[in-house]
A and B are shown apart, each in its own frame.
Chain A
Amino acid sequence: MTNAAAVPAPSSSHDRVGFSLNRVSVIGVNTLTEAIRQKVFIFLLLVGLVFIGSAIFFSQYSLGEQEQLKVIKDTCLGVISVISTLIAIVGTAQLLPSEVENRTIYTILAKPVRRFEFLLGKFYGSVLLLVLSMAAMCLMFGAVLWIKEQSMIRELSQTYLGETQAATEQANQQIEQVRIAVLDVNMVKAVLTDLVKAMLVASVTLLVSTFSTSLVFNVAVPFMIYMAGMLRGTAVEMWSSHRLAMAVLAIVPDFGLFSLADDINLGNLVPWAHVDQVIVYGLARMVVIVVAAHLIFSRREI
């Protein structure tokens, strides 16, 4: 050991250790690099990419351009939604238990790191994983749309252009409609709410994994909560007169609120204000769940 001290000389007990986003992000990035090597994650992402890619072939069973594009969009956005939810569960379920099992957590918490920073770091890591995998799927989706657009335009121009003036005009208008449908920025809204939903699912999984170390439990319970949350909207409509039932239902987030893809693909008006409300709802739920996870984790014996 040389004499060069790398940190300022230790001072008295008046030192302070504030909450540090920097530590959170160091742990988060580290979590990501570990998580992307999980076989289940790679498998799920590949399945998602393959399904999205094959949407090109599904769509060939339908007739018109708009019909084909609708099938592609429904399928791809549906796959993105499902796969991101699964990645949120599977990618988060083992984050805390494996740290404890491998005892890597000892060395981390023995440093001046708050437990809350550690927990947030883990959560941030799974959010990064979600963003990354959703970005990959969106890229694939974009490629599929582009390929389809090109082939449709080629076909339309070969079939109609130059026949009669009216046919040319109609073909041009159809090509325009294809372009509009392909470049529908509203799809961003669907992907955004899906991301928030996946983050919410990840937070639920994180909460479950703060008190359970069983992989099966940590995957099955969040999945069941997710399904319950999907059905909640229907249940609320049916039982809205039962106060008690409503109160019990309130504990589960309404995951159905995040599904905007169908309406966006139909060209329904989906105002940003509405998207914002959904995002606020999701983030508020998520914050509460992360706080609950912290309450458990901060008291946990390691």
Chain B
Amino acid sequence: MRIKILIAVLLLGAGLVLLPLENWVRAERTRLKYGGARVSIQLREAIGQNLAIALLAGMRGIVADFMWINGHDYWEKKEWLRQYRNIEVVAALQPQAVMFWDLGQWHMAWNIGYGVLSDPKNRTKAEGLKREHEWHEKAREFLERGIENIPNRYDLYFTMGWLYYEKLSKDCDQPPCHEAFCKAAEYFGKAASFPDAPQFVTRFYPRALEKCGQTRAAYEEWKRLWFLDHSKVAQSWNIIEREIRELENQLQIPNDERLFPPPLP
């Protein structure tokens, strides 16, 4: 009997001694933003009993993947609202997953957007445009939450830039809308500032600047890119050269200031 008490005390004591370490690790997890939405009643209803158990057993990733794959069904059946809710749940499960935010907004702005635009139930073309615009807005709002969750990677800034550049730029009285391109430039610029951003990302920044109307700033940015070390940066240099030549013509830069002066006659 004494030994049983001793063992209980030992196990409990060890647990209490290790409690600070445990709490520390847990706090570290919160700080590093591990995990995702806690299993609440609402979440359990959204994902079902079995998946909730899997979630509690520590298989968050598998649950999210499974739900994501399942979501393709809704898309194929054009059940937009269901698909949208599914995307929201998956993103809540793994808010650190770039993939779910990225593909989620793509579904909303591109697939669902096109789906409602071409919906035969629309009475007028304008109604389709209006509904499409609503989905663009949903995508933007969704992606903003994504950026809040993952602010330290280039990915979602680029995605947001692309959303403005490709979709939101069509949502004004007389497209293309300048402001949207300026916003796009802002996000592309932010994305390009990450050292690990791929090179094609850096080229979108000056492109958007150009469309925003800041031609001079775009030209300076192209030049800045050109002067990076060619032996170290794997860039498509000929694309940059073409863009610079074009802008040098457009801005009527004097020949002796040009990076690529015209050949001597």
Contacts and interface: CB of A to CB of B under 8 A. Distances in A.
User: So, do A and B actually touch in the complex, CB under 8 Å?
Assistant: yes
Contacts of B7: 292, 295-296
Contact of B12 (A247, A265, A295): A247
27 contacts: A61-B69, A62-B68, A64-B103, A67-B99, A70-B61, A70-B99, A74-B61, A74-B62, A77-B61, A78-B61, A169-B200, A230-B58, A250-B15, A251-B8, A257-B22, A262-B34, A263-B34, A270-B32, A274-B25, A274-B28, A281-B21, A281-B22, A281-B25, A285-B14, A285-B18, A288-B11, A292-B10
Contact count band on B: 35 or more
Interface string B25-49: 1101100111100110000000000
- The A interface, classified by DSSP as helix, strand, loop or mixed, is helix
Contact count band on A: 35 or more
Nearest to A174: B198
Interface stretch (B90-98, B212-220, B224-232): B90-98
B57 interface: yes
B56 A292 contact: no
A268 B15 contact: no
Given A173-B199, A250-B15, 13 more contacts: A61-B72, A67-B103, A71-B65, A170-B200, A234-B38, A246-B19, A253-B15, A254-B22, A257-B29, A266-B61, A278-B25, A280-B21, A291-B10
B11 A247 contact: no
- The B interface, classified by DSSP as helix, strand, loop or mixed, is helix
Interface string A248-283: 011111111101011101111110001001101100
B133 to A, nearest CB: 26
B259 interface: no
Contact of B26 (A166, A236, A252, A285): A236
B28 A277 contact: yes
B38 A71 contact: no
B236 A268 contact: no
Given A165-B239, A250-B19, A295-B6, A289 B61 contact: no
B233 interface: no
A284 B62 contact: no
B211 interface: no
B35 A289 contact: no
Contacts of B99: 64, 66-67, 70
B1 to A, nearest CB: 12
Interface in B123-177: 153
Contacts of A250: 12, 15-16, 18-19
Contacts of B21: 277, 280-281, 284
B225 to A, nearest CB: 14
Contacts of B251: none
A163 B18 CA distance: 59
A268 B96 contact: yes
A227 interface: yes
Contact of B15 (A71, A251, A280, A299): A251
Interface in B234-264: 236, 238-239
A15 interface: no
A281 B26 CA distance: 12
B239 A166 contact: yes
B195 to A, nearest CB: 15
